[in-house]
């Protein structure tokens, strides 16, 4: 039982620090000059699940022989606050990784939000995305599902299970229940499918796998897979292993990020 009493008006305690540097205000906090490499695509990211989505897509394009999709990959160290620098905020005013700039256009194009980057690359190179309206709509169903569902997994379950300063029964139970519901949903969906969108591997798989595939494989939040009884989701585990064996996916997980400083 918590002794916390909710105040009538919340006030930010600026003396209270947190590991991610969160504040109730947006905008840049310091001047910054991000490096720009020699390739058309400049990616500023980190090897988190959201960052892995874009790395996987870029390596899959490389595997597919798309030579114009060459990129430079720079590390935005969120623990050190790189995401709040002026250059990064200019690319993504929301100060979240990943972010990308396409310099192959007459005027550089900024792209932020991980799924939007996947969509941009898929449309630009006509790869890993269906062309028929019905199949594309089904793909969009799952992309929007991922963007809405994953915060309950990461910011909800992951935070309270692995990162909160002390264990709290109510939020852990609440977000564990929701996470297991999502795992069950994916397991049922994959009962008669090789991939999220059916027979074809698409950006829907790339968006969902770093969160849910890696979770059931035991790669997120310590021993969370055991806690969640993730081995019970047979179809989901088979899909996760199928994606994890792809050469491009293996390369994406092993990529080295260049320093920005």
- Tell me the pLDDT tens digit for each residue of 108-165: 999 999 999 999 999 999 999 999 999 999 999 999 999 999 999 999 999 999 999 9
List the Cα angle 36/40/44 in 5-degree steps: 50
pLDDT surpasses 90 at 22: no
Pick the CATH number of 133-249 from 1.20.1050.10, 1.10.1200.10, 3.40.50.300, 1.20.1260.10: 1.20.1050.10
Q: What is the pTM of this model?
A: 0.96
pLDDT tens-digit readout, 57-81: 999 999 999 999 999 999 999 999 9
pLDDT surpasses 60 at 1: no
The residue ranges of every structural domain in the chain are 133-249
Residues 6+ apart with CB under 8 A from 139: 129, 130, 197, 202, 203, 204
Q: What residues does 110 pair with on adjacent strands?
A: 101
The pLDDT value given to residue 15:
84
- Give the model's confidence band at 9: pLDDT under 50 very low, under 70 low, under 90 confident, else very high: very high
Radius of gyration of the chain, Cα coordinates, nearest whole angstrom: 19
């Amino acid at each position: 039982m918590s002794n916390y009493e909710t105040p009538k008006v919340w006030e930010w305690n600026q003396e209270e620090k947190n590991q991610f540097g969160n504040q109730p205000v947006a905008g840049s906090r310091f001047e910054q000059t991000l490096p720009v490499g020699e390739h058309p695509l400049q990616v500023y990211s980190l090897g988190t699940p959201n960052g892995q989505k874009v790395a996987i897509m870029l390596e899959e394009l490389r595997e597919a022989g798309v030579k114009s999709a060459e990129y430079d990959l720079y590390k935005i160290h969120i623990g050190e606050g790189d995401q709040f620098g002026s250059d990064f905020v200019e690319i993504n005013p929301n100060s979240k990784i990943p972010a990308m700039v396409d310099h192959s256009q007459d005027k550089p194009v900024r792209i932020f939000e991980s799924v939007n980057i996947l969509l941009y690359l898929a449309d630009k190179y006509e790869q890993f995305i269906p062309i028929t309206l019905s199949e594309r709509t089904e793909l969009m169903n799952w992309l929007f599902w991922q963007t809405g569902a994953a915060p309950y997994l990461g910011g909800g379950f992951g935070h309270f299970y692995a990162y909160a300063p002390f264990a709290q029964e109510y939020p852990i139970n609440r977000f564990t229940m929701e996470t297991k519901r999502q795992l069950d949903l994916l397991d049922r969906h994959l009962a008669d499918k090789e991939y999220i969108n059916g027979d074809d591997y698409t950006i829907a798989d790339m968006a969902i796998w770093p969160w849910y595939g890696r979770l059931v494989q035991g790669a997120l939040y310590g021993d969370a897979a055991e806690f969640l009884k993730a081995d019970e989701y047979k179809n989901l585990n088979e899909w996760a292993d199928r994606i994890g064996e792809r050469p491009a996916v293996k390369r994406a997980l092993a990529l080295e990020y260049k320093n920005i400083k």
